[in-house]
Structure 1
Amino acid sequence: MAWISLVAAGLFEMFGVLMINRLHQKKNWQSAALLVLGFTASFLLLAQAMKTLPMGTAYAIWTGIGASGGAILGMLLYGESKDWKRIFFIALILGAAIGLKLIS
């Protein structure tokens, strides 16, 4: 259950990052509310996961999902660079997160 909470926390982190970008584009209360909602859910789910999982593992995977997911969403939704080197390093982040899961 902790791993499900951790993955969900990472997904809400990605959502929060998307809402930061949306808030820059549309400065309205809905964007701000969604930003707060996304990060609040992310932190609450991370805290839930950390009741069982080691802090270092949970935090590394949470940030890995958020960072790589944000970069992938930037490429898909906002036309950011899809250079092979960028994709390679995103894959390294995801591989490290999977490795942490396998040894935990």
Structure 2
Amino acid sequence: MAWASLILAGIFEMLGVTSIYKFNKVRNWQSLILLLVTFGASLLFLSFAIKILPMGTAYAIWTGIGASGGALIGMIFYGDSKDWRRLVLIAMVIGAAIGLKLVS
């Protein structure tokens, strides 16, 4: 259950990053509420995961999911560069997160 909470926390972190982008484009109360809800849910699920998983591992995986997912969302939906080097580096972040899970 802790790993499921951690994955959900990472997904909400990705959505939170996307919410920041949306809030910077359209400053209204709906965008602000979306930003607060997504990051709030992310931190809530992270707190559930940290009750069982080592804090360092959970935090590293959470930020890895958020960072790589945010970069992929930017590439897919917002026209960010899809340079092969960026994709290799994102794969390295994901690989490091998987490696942390394997040694935990």
For the aligned pair, the TM-score class normalised by the smaller chain equals over 0.9
Partner residue, 1:28? 28
For residues 85 and 22 of structure 2, the distance between their equivalents in structure 1, rounded to whole angstroms, comes to 27
For residues 86 and 15 of structure 1, the distance between their equivalents in structure 2, rounded to whole angstroms, comes to 20
Shift of residue 25, structure 1, vs aligned partner: 1.1
User: Could you list the runs of 5+ residues in structure 1 that have no partner in the other structure?
Assistant: none
Q: Calculate percent identity across the aligned residue pairs.
A: 62
Return structure 1 stretches of 4+ with deviation > 3 angstroms. none
Partner residue, 2:43? 43
Partner residue, 1:65? 65
TM-score, length of structure 1 as denominator length? 0.98
* 1:82 aligned onto 2:82: yes
User: Could you list the runs of 5+ residues in structure 2 that have no partner in the other structure?
Assistant: none
Give the root-mean-square deviation of aligned CA atoms: 0.5
TM-score, length of structure 2 as denominator length? 0.98
For residues 24 and 36 of structure 1, the distance between their equivalents in structure 2, rounded to whole angstroms, comes to 14
Count of residues in correspondence between the two structures: 104
Q: Which amino acid aligns with 1:74?
A: G
